[in-house]
Amino acid sequence: MTDRDETYSRIEALIEPFNKKGVEITEGTRFAVDLEWDSLTVMDFVASVEDEFDVLISMNRVAEIETVGQLVDAVDQLQED
Amino acid sequence: MTDPGLEMELGGSREGGGSGDLFSKFDPLIEQRRALLAKGVTDPFNLVMERVESPAVAICNGRRTILLGTYNYMGMTFDPDVVAAGKKALDEFGSGTTGSRVLNGTYVGHREVEQALRDFYAMDHAMVFSTGYQANLGIISTIAGKDDYIILDIDSHASIYDGCALGNAQVIPFRHNDVDALEKRLRRVPEGAGKLVILEGVYSMLGDVAPLREMVAVSKAAGAMVLVDEAHSMGFIGPNGRGVAEDQGVIDDVDFIIGTFSKSVGTVGGFCVSNHPKFEIMRLVCRPYVFTASLPPSVVATAATSIRKLTGSSAKRAHLWENSKRLHAGLKQLGFTLGTDQPQSAIIAVIMPDLETGAAMWEALLKEGLYVNLARPPATPSGMTLLRCSLCAEHSEEQVGEILGMFAAAGRSTGCI
């Protein structure tokens, strides 16, 4: 399992409690459109990602992230910084 | 609080639609409003006060209505000294300044209200803005620069979020009132970066108070500057009415206090007070201060008079707390679900099961002769619909009894209790 795979599966697990509709998660799953998350759900979720990976994800950064795959890449990059 | 205006969603959730009409993005909201009003309910966001008799009573739709949603905590709007000061200034200085504070818009009254604020807070500097919204917008966007970090409570008011959006700092929200979540985020800020922690004394949606003693301590330990918005506590929380930071004994560690004239002070305007030795430079670099007209002379005269009177209002403060405790206990006894277990401020939030029931209850209360605020997502936390009540020191004991009777009647007729 590569580092990216590991990040992906940890994020997948974090999505679980917020995935009320039981949507199947893939790289391309869109948070707003497919998971139908509102802004407060997004902020709660982002906080849990921050705590899991011990990183800070600014609101400006969050605004640019649309899909699960993009979030995985962003978290990997933040961990390298 | 997250008043309407907080729009942070992952990836363009507002789709253009391609029709060319820029208003298409508002279609879901237009439809929600249409569906609600089609049921025949009075529009909760379009109430007109035909006459205002006192801080506590107005005439709405021809009916005497007790006002329980005005933020007019100390009832200063009809204070005879305050009104007289406004009239005098109107006669002597005219209806407006027609200018920026840094050009032709600073009259002697603007200096006097800033002196009243320095005295009230016992701080070195005070800067008055045209509204409280602009005070947050101006101070936050100006002091936090590109490589600085703003760590703020997730339930912060729209004016705080908009201040963040106007600036270029890295913005990091943390879970509401969670000291541990704040501390963790402070620890993750890169070494050497500037840090601004933004908190509120009283959060306006649920009326709950922040654990400022702990939060200010962890912020200072991390080398952060602290800004506290005390809009909903000025005048009645703390031994001198300076707010929650004073009440919890940490006001000396707070770098900036933001406040407003539109609540306890009873007029309009906003301010920032601070002991920072370089604070006065803000008057030249803060765009929402520079590029707008200053407050009219009558407004600053009423504000200065009101602030001076608030300093010595301990009997009024005590009565306001009595009102808050009595309403909280009474509503609880009637079986309503409230935003806080104990009354923590002059705001008491009644939690409604959904928007439709909330709107029906709001209308039933209005027909009984009571005005409260209907608050709904996205202004509210966790998607809640709230009937937000804010008490006034001018509500009599009898009126609080009347209010409870109206809640009982409206609650039963709408099936809420």
Domains and CATH numbers, chain B: 36-74+314-414 (3.90.1150.10), 78-310 (3.40.640.10)
Checking if the pLDDT of B2 tops 50, the result is: no
Q: Give the pLDDT of residue B255.
A: 98
Partnered with residue B390 across adjacent β-strands are B69, B347
Supply the pLDDT for residue B312: 87
What proportion of chain B, given as a percentage, has pLDDT over 90? 88
pLDDT in tens, B333-349: 999 999 999 999 999 99
Predicted confidence band of residue B1 (pLDDT cuts 50, 70, 90): very low
Verify whether the Cβ–Cβ distance A42 to B377 is below 8 Å. Answer: no
pLDDT digits (tens, 9 = 90+) for A15-57: 999 999 899 999 999 999 999 998 888 999 999 999 999 999 9
Provide, as residue numbers in chain A, all residues whose Cβ is less than 8 Å from the Cβ of B12: 32, 66
What average pLDDT is seen over chain B? Answer: 94
Number of domain units in chain A: 1
pLDDT at B408 over 50: yes
**d(C-alpha B340, C-alpha A46), whole Å:** 26
Q: Is the pLDDT of residue B9 over 60?
A: no
B397 pLDDT higher than 70: yes
DSSP state of B5: T
CA–CA separation, B312 vs B392, rounded Å?
17
* Side chain identity, residue B301: A
Average pLDDT value for residue range B15-21: 69
Over residues B90-114, mean pLDDT: 98
**% of chain B with per-residue pLDDT over 70:** 96
pLDDT at B15: 52
Is residue B409 scored above 70 in pLDDT?
yes
**Do the chains contact at B170 and A56, CB–CB below 8 Å?**
yes
- Chain A residues with beta carbon closer than 8 angstroms to that of B184: 50-51
Contact map slice: B 357-386 vs A, CB within 8 A: 377-378, 381-383
Does A50 sit within 8 Å of B188, measured CB to CB?
yes
Taking residues B204-231, report their average pLDDT. Answer: 98
- Max mean pLDDT among B11-25, B27-41, B392-406 falls in B392-406
**Chain-chain contact of A39 with B383 (C-beta, under 8 angstroms):** no
Q: What length is written for chain A?
A: 81
Structural domain containing residue A25? 3-80
Which of B1, B2, B8, B10 would best serve as a mutation to test chain A binding (most A beta carbons within 10 A)? B10
The more confident residue out of B256 and B47 is B256
- The CATH number that applies at residue A64 is 1.10.1200.10
pLDDT band of residue B17 (cuts 50, 70, 90) is: low
Output the pTM of the full model. Answer: 0.94
Pick the closest to residue A47 from B174, B382, B189 (CA basis): B174
Q: How far is CA B88 from CA A69, B132, B262, in A?
A: 65, 25, 20
Test A47 with B181 for CB contact under 8 angstroms. Answer: yes
Tell me the C-alpha distance between B317 and B327, whole Å: 16
Is residue A71 a contact partner of residue A49, using CB atoms and an 8 Å limit?
A: yes
